[in-house]
Amino acid sequence: MTVLSLSKALNEGMRKAMEDDPKVLIMGEDVGKLGGVFRVTDGLQKDFGEDRVIDTPLAESGIVGTAIGLALRGYRPVCEIQFDGFIFPAADQIITQLAKMPMRSLGAIKLPVVVRVPCGGGIGAVEHHSESPEAYFTHTAGLRVVSCSNPADAYTMIQQAIRSDDPVIFFEPKRRYWEKADIDTSATDWWPPLHAAKVVRPGTDVTLLAYGPMVKTCLEAATAAEEDGRSVEVVDLRSLNPLDEAVVMDSARRTGRVVVVHEAPVNSGFGAELAARITERCFYHLESPVLRVGGFSTPYPPSRLEEHYLPDLDRVLDAVDRAFGY
């Protein structure tokens, strides 16, 4: 067992992937000597060289566009987008090309490209550095979209994403980069599949559905709710597309109450998809409507207001209370 922070777990995962497969490349802004602004690629250029860990010119469309070309040539590029807000210059390449080219080729082309995106708020940053753009990408067919919430998942999921023959958008909860956990790096038999959801805390009265940075918040809320005599189940979705419907629906049917929690704005957020699917599949099991807790339908606010914008323990518990009010 090794104690690793979430960022170090990603680093170790990428290192393993690079050792296992010489076609794996890392590319992005400042990923080389600096090791990325969050140090997620720290030391990789030193050990694998400038040919495999590439400091690119400052252009996100270029990063993803050339990654597509490298993938066509048999490489497995892992792109780092420096911050969530800077994925948009690459959105054209991701949405119009990366997502659709394999299908256009009738399966002749595979594009095993991973796009890593530090996401979410809570670190007191300036604008464009705290966003949660996942719904833009779950809305785009052809992309797999996942988000890790803890070091162990970071370690396994990044390796599985790199091995996937489909493009994967990989969201990393930046405010959790420094969280630590014990990880068994010697075996792989404990790895869940990349697209499996996980019940991270069993409960009987209400289900909290979360992913990425909000999983920890939901676990804290569940602990607090227990003191009020409520048994809260927390499901870490891990994968948004595809969605592990079996785990989600099973939990919804058992508890009869579901609250979805994400940092992204509620309006047209991924929670809307979850609410609709759960309502369709589990209508007769539900005791209350599926409720959503998320960011407001506004631009991400200046950092001195982010504690109000971001869902926290109180906002989650408030929704849990409301779920019991029906």
**308 near another protein, rule: CB under 8 A:** yes
**104 near another protein, rule: CB under 8 A:** no
CB of 117 to ligand TPP, least distance (A): 12
Cα–Cα distances in angstroms (integers) from residue 319 to residues 70, 191, 198, 325, in the given order: 46, 33, 22, 10
**69 near another protein, rule: CB under 8 A:** no
CB of 59 to ligand TPP, least distance (A): 8
- Cα-based angle 67, 65, 47 (whole degrees, multiple of 5): 30
CB of 125 to ligand TPP, least distance (A): 11
Kindly report the backbone phi and psi dihedral angles of residue 33, in degrees, each rounded to the nearest multiple of 5, phi listed first.
-55, -45
- DSSP secondary structure letter of residue 86: G
User: What residues are labeled active site?
Assistant: 129
CB of 315 to another protein, least distance (A): 8
Q: Which residues bind ligand TPP (CB under 6 A)?
A: 29, 58, 60, 82, 86, 89
Q: How far apart are the first and last CA of the chain?
A: 46
Residue position matching structure tokens 């996100």: 60
**46 near another protein, rule: CB under 8 A:** no
The H or E element containing residue 264 is strand 258-265
CB of 80 to ligand TPP, least distance (A): 11
**325 near another protein, rule: CB under 8 A:** no
Between 134 and 306, CB nearer to another protein: 306
Between 63 and 282, CB nearer to ligand TPP: 63
179 interacts with, out of another protein, ligand TPP, none, CB within 5 to 8 A per kind: none
Give the ranges where 93-167 is alpha helix by DSSP (H). Answer: 101-104, 134-138, 151-163
CB of 78 to another protein, least distance (A): 18
Residue nearest to ligand TPP (CB): 86
Q: Print the SS3 string covering 290-325.
A: CEEEEECCCCCCCHHHHHHHCCCHHHHHHHHHHHCC
Between 86 and 171, CB nearer to ligand TPP: 86
Those residues with Cβ within 8 angstroms of residue 157's Cβ, 6 or more apart along the chain or in another chain: 13, 146, 148, 170, 194, 238
**269 near another protein, rule: CB under 8 A:** no
In this structure, which amino acid lies at residue 55? D
CA–CA separation, 9 vs 20, rounded Å? Answer: 16
Span of 118-126, 170-178, 184-192, 198-206 interacting with another protein by CB under 8 A: 118-126
CA–CA separation, 159 vs 14, rounded Å? Answer: 6
**37 near another protein, rule: CB under 8 A:** yes
Binding residue (CB under 8 A) for another protein from 22, 43, 69, 124? 124
CB 295 within 8 A of CB 265: yes
Number of residues binding to another protein, judged by CB under 8 A:
39
| Binding to another protein, residues 177-196 (CB under 8 A) | none
- DSSP secondary structure letter of residue 30: T
The H or E element containing residue 44 is helix 44-48
**312 near another protein, rule: CB under 8 A:** no
Positions in the binding site for another protein (CB under 8 A): 29-30, 32-35, 37, 55-59, 61-62, 85-86, 88-89, 124-128, 267, 296-299, 301-306, 308-309, 314-315, 318
